[in-house]
Chains A and B, each alone.
Chain A
Amino acid sequence: AQSVTQLDSQVPVFEEAPVELRCNYSSSVSVYLFWYVQYPNQGLQLLLKYLSGSTLVKGINGFEAEFNKSQTSFHLRKPSVHISDTAEYFCAVGKTSYDKVIFGPGTSLSVIP
């Protein structure tokens, strides 16, 4: 069975500061990893995904994530956040790029002006 842990439920950060949102997963098989963002009362938007290849993945809106197989982690980073980055962020794992995914509990990012 697969599972996802997001260690921080809430992350406050000042505008223009860097941020890292942590994600760890467990799985007995190779998996695909995703980060999604959800703005209030909206659906999900894919930020980035790791399927294979380079462990550093770049996504939209200046976000990037690094896959670390030995630590079973897929942390999301952004060097300088904006007010508009305030949202809920979900890490997810799936067996393929198109199959059902298991979501982590989410991290609420609040950017403080």
Chain B
Amino acid sequence: GAVVSQHPSWVICKSGTSVKIECRSLDFQATTMFWYRQFPKQSLMLMATSNEGSKATYEQGVEKDKFLINHASLTLSTLTVTSAHPEDSSFYICSARGSLYEQYFGPGTRLTVT
């Protein structure tokens, strides 16, 4: 139980286009999900907290107009990278808060912007 999936696992897009990453809690409902970003050989940095039915809370320094987060249901949160540029290339990981008050991480999505 308590599985979090991400789709796609790997995406390549051209500079200037937008890409959407999905985070799903497969066997539990998650009112809160978190989005992290990880650069190569570095740690994870929290980008935003996503709450179902409300606006996401972004960490300082994260551009909310560039990284659009939508948490439309209790099992799905999406992160859209708008007008992507090569510097947005990174590993994006989501996590979801489960009913037993645990946090479960997804497998990550590797974004490469060419």
Contacts and interface: CB of A to CB of B under 8 A. Distances in A.
Interface of A: 36, 41-46, 90, 94, 96-106
B42 interface: yes
Given A98-B97, A100-B46, A42 B107 contact: yes
A105 B42 contact: yes
Given A98-B102, A100-B34, A44 B42 contact: no
B43 A98 contact: no
Contact of A102 (B46, B49, B101, B106): B46
A44 B93 contact: yes
Pairs A-B, 9 closest by C-beta atoms: A43-B107, A98-B101, A44-B105, A43-B108, A103-B43, A98-B97, A103-B44, A105-B43, A43-B105
18 contacts: A36-B105, A42-B107, A43-B93, A43-B105, A43-B108, A44-B44, A44-B93, A97-B103, A98-B32, A98-B102, A99-B97, A100-B34, A100-B49, A102-B46, A103-B43, A105-B42, A105-B43, A106-B43
The secondary structure that dominates the B interface is strand
A45 B105 CA distance: 7
Nearest to A90: B43
Contact of B42 (A36, A42, A102, A106): A106
A48 to B, nearest CB: 13
Interface string B18-44: 000000000000001010100000111
Interface string B81-112: 00000000000010101100111011110100
